Amino acid sequence: MLPFLSDETQRPTTEDIERTAREMVDRHGSAATAMLRERVAALETAARWREHATALRVLSLIERTV
């Protein structure tokens, strides 16, 4: 879902976050918020903190735009 969310990649830029948020809203509309909340929860449960922080950045931006 979020291709840059892996341990092998560098920290995503602000542009990456903005592009991902925009793409998710374009593809999923208001459902993007619920999808990202589920992803954030799953990453937290798995203690994948780096990806969790990135997903939170995307979620925050989506919540401000939807």
The total of structural domains in the chain comes to 1
The string of pLDDT tens digits covering residues 3-57 is 555 555 678 999 999 999 999 999 999 899 999 999 999 999 999 999 999 999 9
Has residue 55 been placed in a domain?
Answer: yes
What pLDDT shows up at residue 47? 95
pTM: 0.82
In a domain, 4, yes or no: no
Give the domain range for residue 52. Answer: 14-65
CA–CA distance, 65 with 50 (Å, rounded to integer): 23
Q: Given this model, what pLDDT does residue 10 score?
A: 76
The rounded radius of gyration (Å) of the Cα atoms in the chain is: 11
